[in-house]
Structure 1
């Protein structure tokens, strides 16, 4: 487990089959899953000002998209939507998650909702 240098929160990784992908998973496990998807050229720390308040009542999951933040770059073709769906499966979410995205993150959220309902 790594620490996010800006927030000192534990950042975890999972093996995507093409390098590790990083994510923050905080808040009560009984809370509704809320996935925060960042813009291009940033990482999950884009939401540092929101996460503490949201994590009081929600399970907040904030991944670093492939090639961003602490996540590995790709060595072969990939789709961000497939990465996100794999992360949610890895976390064993039993209920639908609320996807919140900004710019690039909004595209990932939309594609994921359509392709991996």
Structure 2
């Protein structure tokens, strides 16, 4: 069964064949764009940013669930971080931290007591 929108499009393209040509060029251009390496790079960057944002949210959630107060400065620093390796380190520290600021301590800091 042909839908009414297909029938309408068919009539429009019969009246103006050049319109069909322009529409097909646009579709081809759009398909090319989504396959273009730059488009893939943009999508990959978006995926990475999403992973970073999710990891930052999980860090703060772990601290919240553990009842550890999280100052605004810590929340801002965690949310602003775009280094996934560092976020992973902070996530591991969030599981054992006594204070939110413990996320940022250096492992080899002799002045830090556990």
Shorter-chain TM band: under 0.3
Structure having the larger proportion of residues in strand: 1
Larger Rg: 2
> TM-score, normalized by length of structure 2?
0.22
Kindly indicate whether structure 1 or structure 2 has the higher relative contact order, using CA contacts under 8 Å at least 6 residues apart.
1
> TM-score, normalized by length of structure 1?
0.21
Structure having the larger proportion of residues in helix: 2
